[in-house]
Structure formats: C-alpha cells, structure tokens
Amino acid sequence: MSVRLTLFCAGAGPAVREARFDDGPLDTTGLHEVRAVADSMPAAALCLRSPSVRCAQTADALGVEAEARKELRDLDTGHWRGRTLGEVAGADPEGLAQWTTDPGAAPHGGESVEQLCARVADWMDALPGDAGRVLCVVEPAVVRAGIVHALGTPPAAFWRIDVPPLSGIVLTGRSGRWNMRTGGV
C-alpha cells in the first residue's frame, strides 16, 4: 500500500503579505480565501499540521481537525524572526545572500535549508506504509522541503520552488521512494 501525502500550504495573513519572517494569524481576507477552497480538500485518514498559528487557523477554516506536529514546523530563522525580508536585506545583505545560495548556511543563527530538508525527509520516510491518505497543512518551506526529498534533488533546488498560499502538492510513496503528482489537490 502507498501513502498519499498532500502537503497543503497555509493561508495568508499580514506576516505573509509583508514578507515577514514570522508566524501570525490569518486576516479576514486570508480566512475568506481558505473557506473558499474548503470543499475541494481531499478526504484523509490522518490530518496533521505545523504548530504555527497560521496553520492552526487554516486547518480550522478548512473544517479539518489536524494534530500539530513539531516535525512539520517552519524553518527556524533565528534572529531574523519578526523582521521583513526588506529589513534583513538592508541590515544583513551578505547573510541573506549566503542563506539563499548556500543550503548549509544559517547566518540568522537558526536552521539551515539542509537541516529543514533532512527533518522533513526523515518525517516523510517514517510515515507507516499503511497510513493511507495524509493531509498536512504546513508552511511553504515544508512543502518545498517535501518536494526536494520526493524528487531527490539537491537542497539548492529549495529556492527554485514557488509555493503560494493555499497551494498543494500530492506525493505518493512507500519504502522511502516518493513520486510527485501534479494537478489539483
């Protein structure tokens, strides 16, 4: 039996719209957008989510009871947390450039892209073969890391994957071998 893993990106709120390294609640627009796609969500035997406020509110707005899992947390951006991308670019342009070109770098003092990709890969490969359909409401970085693992691409490919709010990807697999399915969630 194969696992059918849907990684669904959480809705947008002020932190996302401001390109801020931070968690935060969905705004009225974000909640409305999530509710508009709720009927299109696939049925799942297991529903999980990132422990973030944004993912909790997205799951609730979708009408999904999802258990928070620390392995699905967002990339830890260390002392950049709370700052916008523009603020970081102005204050630490070398660090930002290093972070976006070297997947092993963590100039913010948090987690590197390589570490995130390894964490998500370990979690994916530990899913039991009989898990069936699994729906995860997660941050864009977790979706990227899942794609990197499924395709066996180097972590440098992480930054080449765009994951807008309320987009999803379906990965099917077993025994550590994953396939990516394009199309609707």
Q: What is the pLDDT of residues 93-140, one digit of tens each?
A: 999 999 999 999 999 999 999 999 999 999 999 999 889 999 999 999
β strands within the chain, DSSP E: 3-9, 46-49, 67-68, 133-138, 168-174, 177-181
CA terminus-to-terminus distance, the chain = 20
**pTM beyond cutoff 0.85:** yes
Those residues of the chain that have pLDDT short of 50 are none
Let me know if 37 is exposed, middle or buried by CB neighbors in 10 A (0-12, 13-18, 19+). Answer: middle
Let me know if 36 is exposed, middle or buried by CB neighbors in 10 A (0-12, 13-18, 19+). Answer: exposed
- What was the pLDDT predicted at 27? 95
Query: For residue 55, what are the β-bridge partners?
Result: none
Residue 173 lies in domain: 3-181
- What was the pLDDT predicted at 129? 87
- What was the pLDDT predicted at 182? 81
- What was the pLDDT predicted at 183? 75
- What was the pLDDT predicted at 100? 95
- What was the pLDDT predicted at 3? 94
Q: What's the CATH code of the domain at 135?
A: 3.40.50.1240
Number of domains in the chain: 1
